Amino acid sequence: MSEPLLQVNNLAVSYHGYAGEVKSVRGVTFDVQRGETLAVVGESGCGKSVTAKTIMRLIQTPPAEIKEGSEVLFDGEDVLKFDKKRLAQYRGGEAAIIFQDALAALNPTMTVGKQICENLLHHSKMSKKEAMEKAVDLLRMVGIPQPERRVKQYPHEFSGGMRQRVMIAIAFANSPKLLIADEPTTALDVTIQAQIMDLIKDWQKEQGASVILITHDLGVVANIARRIVVMYAGKIVERGESGVIFRTPRHPYTNALLEAVPRLDLKNKQVLASIEGTPPDLLNPPAGCPFCTRCKYCMEICCQEEPPVVTFEEGHEASCWLYSLEHPCEDAPFTWEGERK
Amino acid sequence: MTDKVILDVQHLKKYFELGHHHTLKAVDDVSFQIREGETLGLVGESGCGKTTCGRTCLGMYNKTDGTVLYNGKDVHALKGAELFAFKKEAQMIFQDPYASLNPRMTVSDIVAEGLDVHHMTKNKAERTERIYELLNMVGLNKEHANRFIHEFSGGQRQRIGIARALAMEPKFLVLDEPISALDVSIQAQVVNMLIKLQQEMGLTYLFIAHDLSMVKHISERVGVMYLGSLVEITSSGELYSHPLHPYTQALLSAIPIPDPEIEAQRETARIRLEGEVPSPIDPPPGCKFAGRCKYATERCRQESPSLRDMGGGHYVACFAVEG
């Protein structure tokens, strides 16, 4: 396999607040291959959006602090060391991001056409007229009816799904190599969600670009992602190919997440397998495994020492003590061979 | 669950006058019944009128037309002591646990507000006792009683909202998207709790949501709304195994399933809906779904279909369905 498009090495980000240091991302390492879709899955507050924003260099320092030793290599260059000029080329040109809340991300005082043109004119030499024509084409591409009329309208005149399409048009404008979609469909209805996901999928196929899809919804991921990274409390707890993660999740958190979603084959009003408790406070993250306070299979060692990363097969890794002790907790959800007990 | 009908909604209409001779038809001729101890799920996309429907059922909005009978009495005609008693018996749990709790009140004051209004406790000691009991019921403890809302997570806030509703010893609860603002792992906690409380206290739920898999899980019967109209209503098992209305079929087909293999199989059979939900302001005559429906005929654009019984309590409003 060729060199990956993006390599995130040991990324750690903290926020300094009145209460102390919030360790939002604590040593995250992953890569994105060219032309693949990687999904980052986790609950709110697990650091997935902070990771995305750091890749785009969109977090403010201070109050945030990117720790020494963190690296974000894009095509071999460290994004964290980019100067202003290089950064301007990178953002919106080579890499683009779609946010969850399109209404907050768009400028309410500018027509959507102007907002698309802004990105186009910044990155390539063309006249305003050409840019506006391109903007109309882009809106047509993302499935907005009557684009000639719509370019002259303001974000408040669009519905939620249409606004998200405008955001996508801005992101697509310069045909980026990397697209980060940060919960692109969370605020949308299921039918619109399906349309938006199809749009991103088709575009990716056509362009051969890489996509990082950040979401909390495992259902959305199943359809689109090739590989999945599961984050919990600022750390990656499991990673692997999407089929493998869904079939044989190794980390108790991944397993519990999959069980907590009501499936259509469950009996009416059957008790759902819930994860008791709440995610840990990142001001004082637990010393051992971050999931130890909520884990059904928690052992003594889990609360004391960080679990080792165990590799099961090519590319499937989980950080859990269950698989590295001679006598692990007996009611573990999976055997070493990966069969569901 | 008994056969006694607790809430009987007939031809309910709720229009909002927007001025300039425009009318927003939020709820347009909706009829359903809820039996005691049952959960009726109401699903639909945003803007389809499901929240307005729930609120009108509780008398929070005045109706435009139709009737809502609670235990045989017209909700919108209640007065004085009867209205006071109804407001105690029928409670609501709101979607946004951040907006529906007063940030300047402590948890105990929020939970006890209704207790005070209805004079349900004799003295301070009894009041405190009751607050602790309620917090305990929803999985919080008494240390939480004197805190303020900003100290809680979303899931905990939703529990406080539920405790506030339960304080009134209600019989009927309207749950307006109670879990959509919560994380997946917390959703399961809250849903398990709602099911447990229902079984223990014999509550009747009107469960409004857009998450179809969760609605199927919690409800005995499910109604599907589209642009102010009820297009299909039946038992939850039947709805998911034999959806009849084209909109229900499309909606079910759009739910992502957390399994890549099933998703790949579904890919070819998936029904894709084009376009978006049209505006409910001055809707055209005929079936409201006609503009996005692939089976639509001239008749669909002229007449609006009403709910027909397809047998076994399966009602559907569509001309294209045979039977």
Inspect the interface and report whether the beta carbons of A194 and B270 lie closer than 8 Å.
yes
Q: How many CB pairs under 8 A join A and B?
A: 123
Q: What percent of chain A has pLDDT over 90?
A: 18
**Residue A338: pLDDT above 60?**
no
Give A218→chain B minimum CA distance, Å: 5
CA torsion angle B116 B120 B122 B123 (round to 10): -40
**More confidently predicted of B229 and B186:** B229
Q: Which residues pair with A32 in a beta bridge?
A: A6
Give A194→chain B minimum CA distance, Å: 6
Phi and psi torsions of B119, nearest 5°:
45, 55
Instruction: Say whether residue A340 is in contact with chain B using an 8 A CB cutoff.
Output: no
Residues of chain B with Cβ-Cβ distance to A260 below 8 Å are: 184-185, 187-188
**Residue B308: pLDDT above 80?**
yes
Inspect the interface and report whether the beta carbons of B45 and A190 lie closer than 8 Å.
yes
Q: Which residues pair with B222 in a beta bridge?
A: B41, B234
Number of domains observed in the structure of chain B: 1
**Residue B172: pLDDT above 90?**
yes
CA angle B141, B146, B151 (to 5 degrees): 80
Inspect the interface and report whether the beta carbons of B192 and A274 lie closer than 8 Å.
yes
CA atoms within 13 A on the CB side of B233: 20
Inspect the interface and report whether the beta carbons of B217 and A272 lie closer than 8 Å.
yes
Residues of the domain holding B176: 5-316
Residue B123 lies in a domain: yes
- Tokens coding B284: 């055209």
Look at chain B and count its residues: 323
Residue B113 lies in a domain: yes
Chain B residue nearest residue A256, CA to CA:
B185
Provide mean pLDDT across the span B131-157. 87
Chain A residue nearest residue B259, CA to CA:
A222
- Nearest neighbour of B183 by CB, restricted to A43, A195, A268: A43
Q: pLDDT digit string (tens) for A1-37?
A: 578 899 999 999 998 888 788 888 888 999 999 889 9
Instruction: Say whether residue A194 is in contact with chain B using an 8 A CB cutoff.
Output: yes
Residues of chain B with Cβ-Cβ distance to A258 below 8 Å are: 258
Give A82→chain B minimum CA distance, Å: 36
Residues of chain B with Cβ-Cβ distance to A191 below 8 Å are: 45, 250-251, 254, 273
Provide mean pLDDT across the span A56-84. 87
**Residue A217: pLDDT above 90?**
no
**Residue A94: pLDDT above 70?**
yes
ipTM, two decimals, is: 0.74
Position A109 scores a pLDDT of: 93
Position B175 scores a pLDDT of: 92
Residue B9 lies in a domain: yes
Position A330 scores a pLDDT of: 56
Residue B294 lies in a domain: yes
**Residue B322: pLDDT above 80?**
no
Inspect the interface and report whether the beta carbons of A260 and B263 lie closer than 8 Å.
no
Residues of chain A with Cβ-Cβ distance to B191 below 8 Å are: 262, 272
**Residue A317: pLDDT above 90?**
no
Position A339 scores a pLDDT of: 52
Position B106 scores a pLDDT of: 92
Q: What percent of chain B has pLDDT over 70?
A: 99
**Range list of H helices, B118-258:** 124-137, 154-166, 184-201, 212-218, 236-241, 246-254
Inspect the interface and report whether the beta carbons of A218 and B258 lie closer than 8 Å.
yes
Q: Which of residues 61-100 of A touch B (CB under 8 A)?
A: none
Position B270 scores a pLDDT of: 77
Cα(B225)–Cα(B206) distance, integer angstroms: 14
CATH number of the domain encompassing residue B69: 3.40.50.300
Confidence class of residue A210 from pLDDT cuts 50, 70 and 90?
very high
Inspect the interface and report whether the beta carbons of B45 and A262 lie closer than 8 Å.
no
Residues of chain B with Cβ-Cβ distance to A159 below 8 Å are: 276
Residues of chain B with Cβ-Cβ distance to A190 below 8 Å are: 45, 210, 212, 251, 254-256
Position B68 scores a pLDDT of: 92
Inspect the interface and report whether the beta carbons of B260 and A216 lie closer than 8 Å.
no
Residue B323 lies in a domain: no
CA B54, B60, B65, B70 dihedral sign is: positive
Position B112 scores a pLDDT of: 92
CA angle B177, B310, B222 (to 5 degrees): 10
| DSSP string across A81-119 | G--HHHHHHHBTTTEEEE-S-HHHHS-TTS-HHHHHHHH
Classified as helix, coil or strand, B193 is: helix
Residue B35 lies in a domain: yes
Instruction: Say whether residue A104 is in contact with chain B using an 8 A CB cutoff.
Output: no
Chain A residue nearest residue B264, CA to CA:
A223
Chain A residue nearest residue B198, CA to CA:
A269
Provide mean pLDDT across the span A310-314. 82
Q: Which of residues 140-179 of B touch A (CB under 8 A)?
A: 153-156
User: How many angstroms separate the Cα of B15 from the Cα of each of A66, A246, B261?
Assistant: 54, 46, 45
**Residue A264: pLDDT above 70?**
no
Confidence class of residue B38 from pLDDT cuts 50, 70 and 90?
very high
Inspect the interface and report whether the beta carbons of A159 and B276 lie closer than 8 Å.
yes
Phi and psi torsions of A141, nearest 5°:
-60, -40
Q: pTM for the whole thing?
A: 0.82
Cα(B254)–Cα(B276) distance, integer angstroms: 14
Instruction: Say whether residue B45 is in contact with chain A using an 8 A CB cutoff.
Output: yes
Confidence class of residue B295 from pLDDT cuts 50, 70 and 90?
confident
Kindly list the structural domains of chain A, giving each domain's residue range(s) and its CATH number in brackets, ordered by start: 6-225 (3.40.50.300), 232-323 (no CATH)
Confidence class of residue A341 from pLDDT cuts 50, 70 and 90?
very low
